[in-house]
Amino acid sequence: MTQFLKLLRKSLVLALLAALPTWSLLAVAQTPKRGGTLVVGSTQALRHVNGAVQSGIATAIPSTQIFASPLRFDDKWNAQPYLAEKWSLAADGKSLTLNLRKGAVFHDGKPITSEDVAFSIMAIKANHPFTTMMGPVEKVETPDPHTAIIRMSVPHPAIVLAMSPALCPILPKHIYGDGTDLKVHPRNSTDVVGSGPFRLTEFKAGQRVVLERFDKFFLAGKPYLDKIIININPDSSNLMLGVERGEIQMLPYATNSTELKRLAGNPTLTLTNKGFEGIGALNWLAFNTAKKPMSDVNVRKAIAMTIDKNFISKALHGGFSQPADGPIVASSPFAVPDVIRYPLDLKKSAELLDAAGYKAGANGERFKITIDYLPGQDEQQKNVAEYIRAQLKKVGVTVEVRASADFPAWAKRLASHDFDMSMDVVFNWGDPIIGVHRTYLSTNIRPIVWTNTQSYNNPKVDELLNTAGGLLDPTKRKAYYATFQKIVTDELPIHFINATPYHTVANKKVLNVPTTIWGPASPYDEVSFK
């Protein structure tokens, strides 16, 4: 991750000069050939394919194929040209100039211009749950059809990273600029007009997404694949069997330790944990701090003291995961070791609950609460929730483990704040400005999943994050983030469990499995078959 720190510094001093247009996303071991259908497995059902208004890997996989972004990134955190062939960041960090490729067209044949870029960035600012990602953006100037200048109110050290495929899809203004609410626009899932290497030909909610090669894609000769089919099944075991049978050629975001160990011995498959550095996935237990008894910090601490993270990592996760202790992933240059930890201590947990006024009744019960979990990732989510239920029973707390039918049902529950506790997997998205701030800023308490659904409110934390987000110097930023991490782990709106051990499983016939910092949430224009 030292490369990332270097990127942050270099981006401000050298204005991130564009790389040569001959860049190739991944080293090609063999000459790629055109043709073939790639079947991708996914446990998560998606509502639509418009990544401008929806975050998460379920949306990102199809969205990054359908919509191009200004830039993309290699496996060393270096920005690379994509829809923008050149770019430059001002020395004061308050403007980013994008020089677009000429001749690029949308899937309906209309040209992609700076007006579309301007529209898309402002649409993301207005609609995306990551409010801080484009928060400083005031306007986007379009001096000519191929130049877009992003103007910001304050320095924005993460603006270049925000131009990534999963974060900045470029939408056609002539389709989405019709005044319809972008979050519920009918063209988010039907008759979609994109700017990327593949076009949408079929969307069946909760079942599959079908994409076909766009022959007029702006990178000549790409993509190589004829078609991508994303098969959705909430049962990861069924998807694993599909991989073993050769019915599924790529399964990203696999985490089940037992299945990964078995697949590792299959001579027809490859497994890699590379390509997830950018998302920085954390598995955690979120508390609804606006609802009793979770509103009491001592109750939250008591719950944390019943959880043995090492047991979870070693026994429940088969040694594939590592315990996590803070809101910023350990691999980030902004993570610090000086955070508040809660080792297993059932006696102290019971004492805290007593002191908080929740003494055990005649039947030994103190109170009843619920715990939800993100469906489709049983080992990381459901199994941990069941473990927490059993542990809390030891201190007199009765927990109901609530299942959701699918991702949209779970997301609605969290967005409406209809929960006591919930397991969740949340990403750092490369820079704290993008993926961390959104969870803790009181200004981001919104009825949208993966915002501040914990209803956490601390003016000091707001001040620390807002200040850090406007600093260009990484050292100064780290100092602010250090204080933030100490406060958050003390007040505990979230109890951090482990780093999510994502892997991509692929058939060995698949070439150029995406392993950049964004991994499977990248365009598949380089992917091909042997």
Among 3-12, 63-72, 240-249, 370-379, which stretch is predicted with the lowest mean pLDDT? 3-12
Average pLDDT for residues 299-325, to the nearest whole number?
96
Mean pLDDT of the chain: 93
With 80 as the cut, is the pLDDT of residue 13 above it? no
Residue 293: strand, helix, or coil: coil
Q: Both tokens of residue 380?
A: 């990381």
Strand partners, 254: 503
Judge whether 182 and 127 are in contact, CB under 8 Å.
yes
Judge whether 150 and 55 are in contact, CB under 8 Å.
no
Tens of pLDDT, residue by residue over 263-276, are: 999 999 999 999 99
Q: Does domain 2-274+503-529 fall into CATH 3.40.50.620?
A: no
How many angstroms separate the Cα of 406 from the Cα of each of 151, 410, 411, 414?
40, 6, 9, 13
Tens of pLDDT, residue by residue over 430-460, are: 999 999 999 999 999 999 889 999 999 999 9
With 80 as the cut, is the pLDDT of residue 342 above it? yes
How many angstroms separate the Cα of 74 from the Cα of each of 66, 229, 236, 434, 517?
20, 25, 29, 19, 6
Length of the chain: 530
With 70 as the cut, is the pLDDT of residue 318 above it? yes
Closest of 87, 99, 105, 109 to residue 146, by C-alpha = 99
With 70 as the cut, is the pLDDT of residue 131 above it? yes
Closest of 387, 364, 450, 375 to residue 414, by C-alpha = 450
Q: Is the peptide bond before 223 cis (omega within 30 degrees of 0)?
A: yes
At residue 234, the pLDDT reads 85
Q: Both tokens of residue 66?
A: 């359908």
Tens of pLDDT, residue by residue over 508-524, are: 999 999 999 999 999 99
Domain with CATH 3.10.105.10 in the chain: 281-499
At residue 56, the pLDDT reads 85
Residue 30's pLDDT band, with cuts at 50, 70 and 90, is: low
281-499, which class in CATH? alpha beta
At residue 129, the pLDDT reads 86
Q: Taking the CA of residue 28 as centre, how many other CA atoms within 13 Å lie in the half-sphere pointing to its CB?
A: 14
Residue 4's pLDDT band, with cuts at 50, 70 and 90, is: very low
With 80 as the cut, is the pLDDT of residue 299 above it? yes
Q: Is 192 exposed, middle or buried (0-12, 13-18, 19+ CB in 10 A)?
A: buried
With 90 as the cut, is the pLDDT of residue 2 above it? no
Judge whether 255 and 502 are in contact, CB under 8 Å.
yes
Tens of pLDDT, residue by residue over 388-433, are: 999 999 999 999 999 999 888 999 999 999 999 999 999 999 999 9
Counting residues of the chain whose pLDDT is more than 90, the rounded percentage is: 88
Question: Which segments within 433-493 are labelled E, that is strand?
Answer: none
Q: Both tokens of residue 297?
A: 């910090």
Look-up of token digits 């497994």 = 271
With 80 as the cut, is the pLDDT of residue 3 above it? no
Domain with CATH 3.40.190.10 in the chain: 2-274+503-529
At residue 156, the pLDDT reads 96
Return the axis-axis angle of helices 474-491 and 2-13, rounded to nearest 10°.
130
Judge whether 198 and 65 are in contact, CB under 8 Å.
yes
Tens of pLDDT, residue by residue over 14-26, are: 333 333 333 333 3
Judge whether 308 and 344 are in contact, CB under 8 Å.
yes
57 contact partners, CB below 8 Å, separation of at least 6: 44, 252, 253, 279, 520, 521
Amino acid at residue number 315 = A
Tens of pLDDT, residue by residue over 70-81, are: 999 999 999 999
At residue 55, the pLDDT reads 87
Judge whether 291 and 420 are in contact, CB under 8 Å.
yes
